Chains A and B, each alone.
Chain A
Amino acid sequence: MDDLSRITTGIEKGDEASFRTFYDAYFPRLYRYLLKVSCGKEDLARDALQESMMRVIKYMKRFDHEDDFWNWLRRIARSAFVDQVRRRKGADAALSISSLEEVLPMDKPEQADDDLIDLLHVGLDALNPGDRGLIEGKYIQGKSYDELAADLRISSKAVESRLARVRKTLKAILLERLER
């Protein structure tokens, strides 16, 4: 992200362009973090993300270093998530506050992403070789739809829809593993 101090100062002043830059860069990362924290509960992760964004706008201050900023964002997301769990206290909140400390280690900034990528590998292992080859061809080898279509001797459209199916399968595996 270009010039973090300029962007954070801009958000502090209410600048929409600065916020959009931040949003594009950190929405996926925060979502991944909250999905991991919420043990794969998508609606909980979304609500916490929504609350996090509002708090980011409210409490934004200037940051010069990426690591400091991400640590601050994680704290915001973490507290927003805890508040969401407290609000839902009941049947929906299978996750208790006391277990958060185990789920939310704050010592390693990239822990959530590392864990998710580990689970992704588990998911890839669970795919049939054809599907795994297709998705790794797309994301790891960087092949285009046309190249994949030529390899598999199917149309590009067919590659697209087959990839969408594989991603859906992988997501189901990921969420199911996160809930464990």
Chain B
Amino acid sequence: MTRQDGYEKMLDDVLLDEGLHAFRDSLLNESFGALKDNRRKTTLRWIVPLAAAALLLVVFRAFFLTCQPEPYSPSGKKELVAETKPAFYMNTADYMNRTEPAYEMFIQNISLEDHEWLCRADSPNDVLIDSEPETAYLIESPGFHDFKITDSEMLALFVGIPCGLAETKGQGKRLIFMNEEDESRIVAKLD
């Protein structure tokens, strides 16, 4: 210990008497309390915005889902499609995975005009589309409710999905999707 250190120690012992020791201990306890509060505030500083963000996300998602346009369904069958599966386009892929693929040929001797398509729907919402018996396409599966729709009604089923109708000689009219992903997601080809 240097001479200077000795004087500093003497100074501390002179100034820090018993009364100050008690003050020192109580201030330390008070400081620990403040540290704890600080930790709590720091934690809240992270949790509150996260919780708010999560809440916003939930609200936004709920709002987004409820504001989806109802899928178009052919005249006279509107309630059938809308009631059973409002989120028809969004959930199609999931739905198809979960659905028992009871795909079957159903086009049998039904005559269609050139501008007509045959659809099949059942309580859950499903639509089968075809214009020619040889090129039957299934959009989801399980019900049996057949009805006809026109070209424009057909296209209206796929709002927001780039697709169109193409006609080739001798092979009838086909629904063509611009993106292969859309086609594989929405349409299942019948055997």
Contacts and interface: CB of A to CB of B under 8 A. Distances in A.
Nearest to B28: A23
A177 interface: no
A27 interface: yes
Contacts of A174: 14-15
B50 interface: no
Given A14-B42, A19-B35, A53-B31, A139 B17 contact: no
B7 A28 contact: no
B8 A117 contact: yes
Interface string A13-31: 1111001100100011001
Contact of A14 (B15, B20, B38): B38
B106 interface: no
B102 interface: no
Contact of B15 (A121, A139, A142, A171): A171
Contacts of B12: 28, 32
A11 B20 CA distance: 24
Given A54-B34, A116-B11, A142 B16 contact: no
Given A14-B36, A142-B1, A53 B11 contact: no
Is the contact region of chain A dominated by helix, strand, or loop, or is it mixed? helix
Given A14-B42, A135-B10, A140-B6, A31 B16 contact: yes
Contacts of A31: 15-16, 20
A58 B12 CA distance: 27
A88 B45 CA distance: 35
B3 interface: yes
A142 B2 CA distance: 10
B112 interface: no
Interface of B: 1, 3-4, 6-17, 20, 23-24, 27-28, 30-32, 34-36, 38-39, 42
Interface of A: 11, 13-16, 19-20, 23, 27-28, 31-32, 35, 46, 49-50, 53-54, 57-58, 113, 116-117, 120-121, 135, 138-140, 142, 167-168, 170-171, 174
- The 9 closest A-B CB pairs, nearest first, are A14-B39, A139-B10, A140-B6, A139-B6, A57-B34, A14-B35, A170-B14, A167-B14, A28-B12
29 contacts: A13-B42, A14-B39, A16-B32, A16-B35, A19-B31, A19-B32, A27-B24, A28-B12, A28-B16, A31-B16, A31-B20, A32-B15, A46-B23, A49-B27, A53-B27, A53-B30, A54-B30, A54-B34, A57-B35, A58-B34, A113-B8, A116-B11, A117-B8, A135-B10, A139-B6, A142-B6, A168-B17, A170-B14, A171-B17
